[in-house]
Amino acid sequence: MNLILHHHSGRANGTLTSMIDTYFNLQDVELKIISGDHVHNTIQFIRDNDYFGDKGILNCLTKDLSFEANTIICSAKLLVDINVFNIKIKCKRMIVLDSLDIFKLNKNIVSFSIPTLDMIFLCNPANKVPFKTHEYYHKFSHKRLDTLKKSCELQIYSRMSRDDIIVDNIPFENIGKRVWENLYHGTKVLYQPDGLRIEDGLCYYMKLFGLDCNKEKILSVTREQIVDKLFMKEDDLIYELLS
């Protein structure tokens, strides 16, 4: 059995939606979202987001802390949470999608638990880990994105507007989901590079579309381009790793 595993502390973050997108995109996998004492907040968060397109997501919530599977797919955030929340894992292999936590690890702000020696990290080039790594970009799902409410107003993305992505006084955005979700729905986005100090994950996602992360501009990216670059195809690396 292959398992997608995530720990959710009740607050909104992109790691949860990354795991949900991966679950929607794959077949023959199970999803478990550890919610612990925050289960009521997690349920409300899921409801507020129209169940991300599938009410069955509620059935994936669990208070269990012990898991066993052949392959576990997770976010790098789980490697931080394992010790903090005493999560027990037994698996032959882990496929780890990158998150802001890798940048925090390299800044010695967090530490990782290593449940198995067979670990494969899927990362954009901004993230470096001392494990086997493949260059990879998170894939969205139609099911989740099609439930998002569309805005007709110009959306401003400023690198200095979110405290949760400022680490060691450095703004670090791993994906910039809000940018791509708005563009998917045809909403214009004014990108502002204010405060950009290093080439982070969002810079590499922008390069996929020929965009310069150092320049302020209204981004011109079509839904078709986003589907082509950021939605799962039959030859996706995760399919290959699971085969």
Q: d(Cα 104, Cα 166) in Å, to the nearest integer?
A: 10
- Judge if 23 and 121 occupy the same domain: yes
- Judge if 104 and 176 occupy the same domain: no
Domain count, the chain: 2
**Looking at residue 140, what DSSP letter applies?**
B
Q: d(Cα 88, Cα 83) in Å, to the nearest integer?
A: 9
Contacts of 82 (CB under 8 A, 6+ apart): 89, 113, 115
Short-list 148, 116, 121, CA closest to 132: 121
- Judge if 223 and 186 occupy the same domain: yes
pLDDT given for residue 149 in this prediction: 85
Q: Which SS3 state, helix, strand or coil, does residue 226 take? A: helix
**pLDDT truncated to tens, each residue of the chain (243 aa)?**
899 999 998 777 789 999 999 999 998 899 999 997 778 888 988 999 899 999 999 999 999 999 999 999 999 999 999 999 999 999 999 999 999 999 999 999 999 999 999 999 999 999 999 999 999 999 999 999 999 988 889 999 998 777 668 888 888 999 999 999 999 999 999 999 988 999 999 999 999 999 999 999 999 999 999 999 999 999 999 999 998
Strand pairing report for 2-7 and 30-34: parallel
pLDDT digits 0-9 by tens, 180-218: 999 999 999 999 998 899 999 999 999 999 999 999 999
- Judge if 153 and 97 occupy the same domain: no
What count of residues does the chain have?
Answer: 243
pLDDT digits 0-9 by tens, 79-90: 999 999 999 999
- What is the span of the domain harbouring residue 15? 2-139+232-242
CB-based burial, 208-223: b 16+ in 10 Å, e otherwise? bbebebeeeeebebee
φ, ψ for residue 89 (rounded to 5)?
-130, 135
- Judge if 206 and 104 occupy the same domain: no
- Judge if 86 and 149 occupy the same domain: no
- Judge if 17 and 111 occupy the same domain: yes
- Judge if 155 and 190 occupy the same domain: yes
